[in-house]
Structure 1
Amino acid sequence: MSDTLRKTPLHALHVELGAKMVPFAGYDMPVQYPLGVLKEHQHTRASAGLFDVSHMGQVIVRATGGYDAAARATEVLVPVDLLGLAQGRQRYGFFTNDQGGILDDLMLANRGDHLFVVVNAACKDADIAHMRAGLEGCEVEEITDRALLALQGPAAEGVLQALVPGVAEMKFMDVAIVDSRFGELWISRSGYTGEDGYEISVHADQAQGLARALLAHDAVEPIGLGARDSLRLEAGLCLYGHDIDSGTTPVEAGLTWAIQKVRRAGGARAGGFPGAGIILDQISNGAPRKRVGLRPDGRAPMREGTALFTDAEGGTPIGAVTSGAFGPTLGAPMSMGYVPAALSAPGTPLYGEVRGKRMPVTVAELPFVPANFKR
């Protein structure tokens, strides 16, 4: 089976470091290293973790009129203010469909003369086809000769600054193109762990050298997909295909903050994206259901697919868990899921059905662990 999976430029290094490799989004990826998921999670929160996210898609959108033309064209596909995005900055966003559902969530950056987009691995082929079909007058270039690393945690700034002077001055969601002894690096101060850190795009033939240089620092450990998942869940961040999908609107998902006022009803460039009527109506009048945090009683996590009920016995499910795990920083199990809006207030008691038995669970505030981004 591994023969049919794609490999990132760091695959040999993962094997050398003793990683347990698993199939993920068509790639052979490290789920954990000898340190183990729990300690990898804790190390990232306390120091710095290095993640291989090269499976994600990197895309450049160019237009004859420069960034503004590319941004204006892309606003037809996303409910995001790209024209108002300053050079050297990026925003979180998503492609939507005609029903208001989310086709994928992504990062969009203004890099001066073009738009740079990072998309999820499982969706990248569909996303690129979507952009090529929908971006009139634009060239959509998939970048296939670069790796993508994420250095996350409170020690990330000091570690990367020692190798790439100047990155310490970057603020959360800044982007920069810098020269280094590992060639040209495309850096953003961002990540998906709730911690401060950077995502670094490096040419494939320099990726292993950069990774080894970062791992040579005592503060840095390699981190696999297992800890990446528990870190993002503690941070209350959605995983596409689980917490959000084509049947979930941004309002239901609690992502209204990513739709700037200029794209909302009454804004100068309101609407104009797929599903705008549904999404803007839900912003104004509310959505029927809502993504919430969930805190199960006891020590056992409630995993994805667990049905939620209002009563300990009888009745029909009113919602379901979409992600669940034990939170090492939280010191307790945690889940996210969808419930009717009327049952979404923190403190609302519910029940999750685990192996045929109803267990108490309480609606909770998100995130479970406060973010430590560099503002």
Structure 2
Amino acid sequence: MSELKSLTLDALHRELGGKMVPFAGYEMPVQYPAGVMKEHLHTRSQAGLFDVSHMGQVILRGSSYEEAALALEALIPVNVAGLKENRQRYGFFTNDQGGILDDLMFANRGDHIFVVVNAACKDQDIALMQNGLPEGVAVEVIDDRALLALQGPAAEAALAALNPAVADMKFMDVGIYDLNGAECWISRSGYTGEDGYEISVPNDAAEGLARALLADERVLPIGLGARDSLRLEGGMCLYGHDIDETTSPVEAALTWGIQKIRRTGGDREGGFPGAERILAELENGAPRARVGLKPQTRAPMREGVELYATDNGGAPIGKVTSGGFGPSVEGPVAMGYVATENADTGTVLYGDVRGKRMAVEVVALPFVAAQFKR
């Protein structure tokens, strides 16, 4: 435990009764006294406050936004240069084999790019940018700011109580706003499927802001447990589980994140690691596909469960990569990869659970419809 890093708000989490566990090199609250189920449902009905300060925050600066954007496009198969000012976009770093090294969010802040990467891949991603971007593009690691996520249908009202201007933001808008006396970098986004905001706040102002938000009766602190069940119901990938360096964006059903301009025939076709495989799969399809899975029993199918086309015999045709109980759907939910010929919605497969093959249906994602403010 002594090797784990502490969050800026570590003392507050403990004061609130957070159960601390190791996660991505940090001590993180997995749940609070309300428990995972109540935290999950509260976020769906009101608003939840998540501490995601373990994630990496980075600024990329060139002589212009376009210079930095075109440089970043050499590392990700996404249209960075075409992103409008004060807007954010989802992307992913790829390797030479067309696999995903990490997924990320990036924003056009006018004179620079603001990037948020996953905690477990943070050091690797920073090194990738430092080594992979030209000398004219500076990589500035932000280590003096916390990152909070306020998620749920009451998130707008709760945050607007501190600054009414945030209510005018739409999904994937970004901007700088004063909250509780601090300059905050805010995006209207999140990883729960609900409307909400992610807020980068100076470390010395983080506790004051968190307390101001938690003073609102609509807001509860939410831990890692509910964060995982919310994103699973929302059909969102968890890096290292649903996507990794062997998974292509096409297999992962993330082709919506590769804009036309970077595809075959586009003005900036290819030019990113793994382009040969990724462009070929975009044209011809991939041998496997990420799908939603609905177990036909009350027992969840967890990560690692092998999937079969029949209830006896045969070789596995896929595997569960995320699975658990979905509080909002009141039943087990899962995601995984199956051979493309077994990926049609409505297909019944069988998961091997402790030596018994249990029926599971391929279903459309997400399990809970997104509530983003368009």
- TM-score after normalising by structure 2: 0.99
Give the match for residue 279 of structure 1. 278
Deviation readout 1:279-333 (Å, 9 max, x if unpaired)? 0110110000000000001111100000001111111111100000100111110
Cα displacement string for residues 332-361 of structure 1 (whole angstroms, at most 9, x for unaligned residues): 100000001111001101000011111111
CA contact 2:47–2:150 (8 Å) conserved in 1: yes
The residue identity in structure 1 corresponding to 2:133 is L
Question: Could you tell me how far apart the structure 2 residues matched to 1:272 and 1:348 are?
Answer: 37
Q: How far has the Cα of 1:181 moved from its partner?
A: 3.2
User: Secondary structure at 1:117's aligned position in 2?
Assistant: strand
The answer for unaligned runs of 5 or more in structure 1 is: none
Contact 2:294-2:333 at 8 Å conserved across structures: yes
1:72 matched to 2:70: yes
2:130 partner SS? helix
Whole-angstrom distance in 1 between the partners of 2:329 and 2:341: 27
- In 2, Cα distance between equivalents of 1:209 and 1:53: 16
The gaps in structure 2 that reach 5 residues or longer are none
Which residues of 2 match residues 48-87 of structure 1 at below 5 A? 48-64=47-63, 66-87=64-85
Inter-partner Cα distance in structure 2 for 1:228 and 1:293: 18
Tell me what 1:168 maps to: 167
Question: Is 1:340 aligned to residue 339 of structure 2?
Answer: yes
1:127 matched to 2:125? The reply is yes
Is this contact kept in 2: 1:182–1:209, CA < 8 A?
no
The yes-or-no answer on 1:366 pairing with 2:335 is no
Q: Would you identify which runs of 4 or more consecutive aligned residues in structure 1 move more than 3 Å?
A: none
For 1:68 and 1:34, how far apart are their aligned partners in 2?
48
Question: How much is the aligned-residue C-alpha RMSD, in angstroms?
Answer: 0.6
Q: Does 1:305 align with 2:311?
A: no
Matched, 1:146 2:134: no
After TM superposition, give the deviation of residue 124 of structure 1 in Å: 0.5
The DSSP-based 3-state class of the residue aligned with 2:148 is strand
Task: Report the AA paired with residue 266 of structure 1.
Answer: G
For 1:289 and 1:101, the matched residues in 2 are separated by 13
Q: What code does the residue aligned with 2:99 have?
A: G
Q: Is the Cα contact below 8 Å between 1:182 and 1:202 reproduced in 2? A: no
Aligned length: 373
Contact 1:308 1:319 in 2 (8 A): yes
Whole-angstrom CA distance in 2 between matches of 1:227 and 1:180: 26
Q: Which residue of 2 aligns with 1:96?
A: 94
Structure-2 residue corresponding to 1:157: 156
Give the deviation of 1:164 after TM superposition: 1.8
Counterpart CA distance in 2 for 1:287 and 1:182 is 50
Counterpart of 2:285, as a letter, is G
Output the amino acid matched with 1:155: A
CA distance in 1, matches of 2:130, 2:319: 35
Q: Does residue 234 of the first structure (1) align with residue 210 of the second (2)?
A: no
Contact 2:184-2:199 at 8 Å conserved across structures: yes
SS state at 1:78 partner: coil
Provide, for residues 61-102 of structure 1, a one-character-per-residue CA deviation record: whole Å limited to 9, x for no partner.
0012x2111001000000110111000001000000011000
The answer on whether the counterparts of 2:297 and 2:358 sit within 8 Å (CA) in structure 1 is: no
Code of the aligned partner of 1:323: S
Map of 1:313-332 to 2, 5 A cutoff? 313-332=312-331
Aligned to 1:179, what secondary structure does the other structure show?
strand
Distance of 1:38 and 1:178 partners within structure 2: 33
Among all aligned residue pairs of Structure 1 and Structure 2, give the percentage whose two residues are the same amino acid: 69
Per-residue CA deviation, residues 117-162 of structure 1 (Å, 9 max, x unaligned), is 0000000000000000011021101100000000000000000011
Q: Give me the whole-angstrom Cα distance separating, in 1, the residues matched to 2:76 and 2:256.
A: 14
Displacement of 1:165? 2.3
Q: Which amino acid aligns with 1:76?
A: A
Provide the residue aligned with 2:116 in structure 1.
118
Task: Measure how far apart 1:178 and its partner are.
Answer: 1.7
Determine helix, strand or coil for the equivalent of 1:163: coil
Aligned to 2:3: 4
| Whole-angstrom CA distance in 1 between matches of 2:120 and 2:286 | 27
1:182 is displaced (CA, Å) by 3.3
The residue number in structure 1 matching 2:106 is 108
Deviation of 1:180 after TM superposition, in Å, equals 3.4
In the TM superposition, what whole-angstrom CA distance separates every residue of 1:260-297 from its partner, at most 9, and x where no partner exists? 00000000001000001110110110000000000001
Q: Is the 8 A contact 2:350 2:357 kept in 1?
A: yes
Q: Which moved more, 1:191-200 or 1:135-144?
A: 135-144
Q: How does 1:238-253 map to 2 (within 5 A)?
A: 238-253=237-252
Task: Report the equivalent of 1:220.
Answer: 219
Counterparts of 1:182 and 1:57, CA distance in 2? 24
Corresponding residue of 2:287: 288
Match of 2:211, SS state, is helix
Deviation at 1:179, TM superposition (A): 2.6
On the 8 A contact 2:301/2:351 being kept in 1, the answer is yes
